[in-house]
Amino acid sequence: MTTRRELTEAAGERYRQSGRSDKRQILDEFTQLTGYHRKHAIRVLSRESLPPKAKPGPQRRYDDEVRSALITLWEAGDRICGKRLKALIPTLLDSLTRHGHLVLSNEVRQRLEEISAATIDRLLQNVRQQAFSGRRRRAGGVGNAIRRAVPIRTFNDWNDPLPGYLEVDFVEHCGGTKIDGDFVHSFVMTDIATAWTECLPMPSRSSAFVLEHVERVRGALPFPLRGLDCDNDSAFMNEAVFDFCKATGIELTRSRAYKKNDQAWVEQKNGSIVRRLVGYGRLRGLEATETLASLYQVSRLYINFFQPSFKLRSKTRHGAKVTKHYDAPLTPLERVLRSASIPDATKHSLRARFRKLDPVDLLRRMREAQQRVAECSISNGVAVDTKKTTEIPLAEFLSSLGTAWQAGEVRPTHQPKARVPHDWRTREDPFEHTWPKIQQWLETEPGITAKQLHERLAAMAPDFYSSAQLRTLQRRVKTWRSDRARELVTRILGDANAVEAGAATPRPLPPKNDASTTISRG
C-alpha cells in the first residue's frame, strides 16, 4: 500500500503538469500498474494531495500513563503472568496507594481495575521481551524438524503389511539402576508380518551404529527392507538416519511420544528375546559388546528357525472386557515361506539352510555364550578368557536335557547371585545381659510363657524393657526350647543305641581249665 501511495503522488504531480496527449499516456501507464478503473484513476491523479487515512477502530483506551502504572504493578507483583496479575491489581493498588508509593488519578485507577488479562499481556509484551532477553530459550534444533517431517504410525495403522516393515528399539544393559556412563545397548529389529527378529549389540547409543547395523541387517534379511518404525529417540530422529532412508527408499515412520503400544511388536521382543537371553546384568565396554555379539550370532538362528510365536489376528472390546484372537503359532521361517512376496529361490535357500541346522547344538552353544555373558556381567566388563569356559560335549548336553528341570534355572544369565549368610546383628541385643537369668527361670519353671518372663523383666527394669521387645523375647524362647528338645532327643537316641549295642555283644566263655567253674557229674 505504501508503494502504491508513493506511485500515486509521483504520477499525480506529473499528470497535473502535462498536456492532453501526455495525460493520456500517463493515465494508461498508471491504470496498467495499479489496476484502477480509468475514471477512478483520473480522480486520484487530479487531486492535489491524498487525504489522511483515518485509523479504524475506537480510540486508544490504555495510554502511556496506564501502561507505566501497569509496569510498576507488574514489577511489584514479581513479574507474574497476566491472569495472576489481573487478580492481584486491586490488592496492589490499595497497598501502594496506602503507603504512598503510587499516586494515580481516578480515571487511571478505574482503567487498571477494568483491564483484562489479555490486554495486560499485550501491553507488557515488549517489556517482557526486553526483561527476559538474557534468558536462553531452548532451541528446537534439527531433531524437532526431523520429527515434524517423519509421519506417525500407531498400532492400528499397519493393516497387514508385506514382509520388510520393521520396528526398531534399544534395550540398555545398565543393571537396573542407571548410573553415569555408557552401557552396552541391544539394537532390536522385528518384522511386523513375519516376526523375524534381529538383535545386534552396540557399545553405546549412537546414530552411527544405527546406520551400520541397519546396513548389516538389510543384507542378512530374507526379504527387502521396506520401512523402519522407531520411537522419538535422538539416535533415530536425526539428519543422518533421515537422509539414509530417503536415499535408499526406506519408509521412515515413528511412534507417538510416551505411547509404547505403538511399537507393541518390538516391545514384546525386548522381553521375550533380549531379556530372556541376556538377563538384567550390567554390561559395559568393547569386550562385553563382543561377548554379547557372539550370543546374538547363535541365537538369531535358533529364534527365527525354531521358535514359534503367536500373532494377533483380531481384538474386540465389550465394555471393560477385551477379547483377543490369535493365529496358530508359527516360526518366523514358516511365515516367510508362506508369504507370496518372497521369491522361490529365497525360499529354497532357507529350506536348505534349515535342514543343516541342529537345534540342540544351537541351544548348547547359546548356553555357553550365556555363560560368558554372565561372567562378563559379574566382572563388570573385564574380558573373559574363553579358554577357561568349559565346553560341554554335545552328547553330554543332550543326555542332560531330560534331568535339567531338576536343577531349576539353567540359564547362566538368570541364575541368582550367591547370597552371603546374614550372621551378624544389626541392632543391639536387649536381652544380652539378662539372658542367663532368663535361662535359669526357664529351667526351674518349664511351663512359664514368654509374656510372663517379659512382665518380670519389665518389673525389674521398667525403663529398659517395653512392649515392643515382647516379640523378640518370644522368638528367643522358642529357639531355646527347640534346641533343648533337640538335645534331649539326641541324648535319648544315643543312650538307646548304646543299650542296643551292649545287648548285641556276646558274653565271653569261661576258660576250660578253670576248676572252679567245672561241674562234676559224679
Domain edges within the chain: 2-46, 64-131, 143-368, 435-490
The better pLDDT of the pair 166, 512 is held by 166
- Are 238 and 244 in contact, with CB atoms under 8 Å apart? no
Q: Is the pTM of this model over 0.75?
A: no
Residue 499's pLDDT band (boundaries 50, 70, 90)?
low
Average pLDDT along the chain: 85
pLDDT value at residue 304: 94
Residue 330 is classified by DSSP as B
Q: Give tens-digit pLDDT for 441-487.
A: 999 998 899 999 999 998 888 888 888 889 999 999 999 999 988 88
Higher pLDDT, 303 or 388: 303
Rounded to whole angstroms, the Cα distance separating 376 from 382 reads 6
Name the band, by pLDDT with cuts 50, 70 and 90, for residue 351: very high
Strand arrangement, sheet containing 197-202: 197-202, 185-191, 165-172, 227-230, 251-254
**H or E stretch including 133?**
none
132's grid cell: 527476559
DSSP-based three-state secondary structure for 33: helix
Instruction: Summarize the confidence of residues 213-237 as an average pLDDT.
Output: 93
pLDDT of residue 353: 94
329 touches 310 (CB < 8 A) = yes
Q: What DSSP character marks residue 64?
A: H
> What's the CA angle centered on 204, arms 302 and 284, to 5 degrees?
75
CA distances from 237 to 55, 228, 251, 288, 365 (A): 49, 12, 14, 27, 37
Region of poorest pLDDT, from 70-79, 158-167, 273-282, 416-425: 416-425
Q: Assess contact for 231 and 258: CB atoms under 8 A.
A: no
- Cβ atoms of 350 and 337 closer than 8 Å: yes
Instruction: Evaluate if residue 139 carries a pLDDT over 60.
Output: no
Region 424-444: mean pLDDT is 87
Q: Per the structure block, which three cell numbers stand in for 391?
A: 565346553
Report CA torsion sign: 240, 246, 249, 255: positive
Q: Tell me the C-alpha distance between 266 and 187, whole Å.
A: 10
Q: For residue 395, give the 3-state DSSP assignment.
A: helix
Which overall architecture, per CATH, does domain 143-368 show? 2-Layer Sandwich (3.30)
Q: Is the pLDDT of residue 113 over 50?
A: yes
Average pLDDT over residues 84-112: 87
Q: What is the pLDDT of residue 507?
A: 55
- For residues 14-38, average pLDDT: 83
Q: Which of 209, 174, 369, 187 is nearest to 290 (CA)?
A: 369
The pLDDT tens digits of the residues spanning 198-216 come to: 999 999 888 889 999 999 9
- 3-state SS assignment for residue 282: strand
**Percentage of the chain modeled with pLDDT above 70:** 87
Each residue's pLDDT tens digit, 307-331: 999 888 888 999 899 999 998 999 9
Rounded to whole angstroms, the maximal C-alpha distance in the chain is 194
Q: What is the pLDDT of residue 518?
A: 38
